[in-house]
Each structure stands twice: as structure tokens, then as C-alpha cells.
Amino acid sequence: MQARTVTRFAGLAALAFLAACAGERPGNLGVRDGRLAPCKPTPNCVASQADRAADPGHYVTPLAIRGEPEATWAALVAAVRATPRVHIVAERPGYVHAEYASRVFGFVDDVELQLDASAKVVHVRSASRVGRSDFGVNRARIEALRTRLAAAGVVAASRGAAGGTLYSDVISNTGSPACLRSS
């Protein structure tokens, strides 16, 4: 009987721990003064509005629109919706906030997309809620989205911030155990 109680307690403790790994939804998300929120100093975030020269670790190239911005935006939102374990938190003209949950542990990352029709780009931000490193998951997620949309002909294919590898074949929203790492 005592072993069963200990096992139940351990199971409940593990569930509580994993639930805590999801983290709280950040309060600074959304478009403010025409920009998405900046990344925290930790390396588990990428953003197209980061300063490429001053902050290359966080910088990711925005999605360059081919054709009509409205058609690209519709294809982009459809691609996000079609991704497993995604919950759209906010959607309004020219802005989407989606939560991506990892497959195994359910860690939540926040992805924001902002249409800049006049510049013919979509600005992106993808950030882990907890932990310090993400093992490249956020950059890989944006590059996989870029690759999918480039194959559909609605955005330009691009290499990463430093002209490096496209990450579409590396990862597709598997997440990483971010809350198991020290901050």
C-alpha cells in the first residue's frame, strides 16, 4: 500500500514538473510601435527584427514575399495551422501568435508573425518560454516554415542569418527539454 502511495505521489510530482515546463505566456507579445518583442539575452529565441550586425545569434532573415502579400499571408497562416501541436492564440489582420508544443514533454514556444505588406516581408519571432538553450529548435522551425512556403512559391528561399544551413530537414517542431537545462 505504501509503495502505491509513493508511486502515485511521484507520478503527480512528475506531472506538476512537466506542467511547469510549459511556462507562462509572456506579457510582452504582440506588435508595439510596429515591432515584435525583442529576444531576451538567452540564446533560445530568433527574430527577424533583431539587429543583424549587433545580435547575429538572434537574427533570422524575414520571410521575403513573392507575389501578393495577402496570398502569401493566407498560405502562411494555413501552414502554421497545419503544423502538429500548434494552438493559435491570436489572429488578426497582419499578425498571428501561435503556441507550439513539443512532441514528448509539451514544452511551449511562442511564434509570432507580422506582415509588412509595403516591404513585402513577414517578420518572425520564435522563442522558448523556459530554459536557456533550445538546441536550434526555434531557428529550425522558422527555416522549415520558410522552406515549406518557398516550395509553394509564395516566399523566397533563403539561407540562415549567416548564409548557413537550411534547417527544414533537421527538425520539424520536436522541441527540446528546455526546462531541464539550467538558466
Separation CA 80–CA 95 (nearest Å): 12
Domain count across the chain = 1
* Alpha helices (H) in the chain, listed in sequence order: 2-21, 69-81, 137-151
Report the amino acid identity of residue 133.
S
Separation CA 10–CA 5 (nearest Å): 9
Looking at residue 21, its pLDDT comes to 58
Question: If you count DSSP H runs as helices and E runs as strands, how many of each does the chain have, helices first?
Answer: 3, 6
Separation CA 7–CA 49 (nearest Å): 48
Query: What is the domain range of residue 137?
Result: 2-180
Separation CA 18–CA 15 (nearest Å): 5
CB 64 within 8 A of CB 156: yes
Looking at residue 24, its pLDDT comes to 87
Looking at residue 129, its pLDDT comes to 92
pTM for this predicted structure: 0.77
User: Crossing angle for the helix pair 69-81 and 137-151, nearest 10 degrees?
Assistant: 120
Looking at residue 105, its pLDDT comes to 87
Mean predicted confidence (pLDDT) in 158-164 = 49
Looking at residue 22, its pLDDT comes to 62
Question: pLDDT tens-digit profile of 101-160?
Answer: 998 888 999 999 999 999 999 999 999 998 888 889 999 999 999 999 999 999 999 754
Question: Which of 46, 66, 50 shows the shortest CA–CA distance to 134?
Answer: 46
Question: Which of 137, 78, 140, 75 shows the shortest CA–CA distance to 107?
Answer: 137
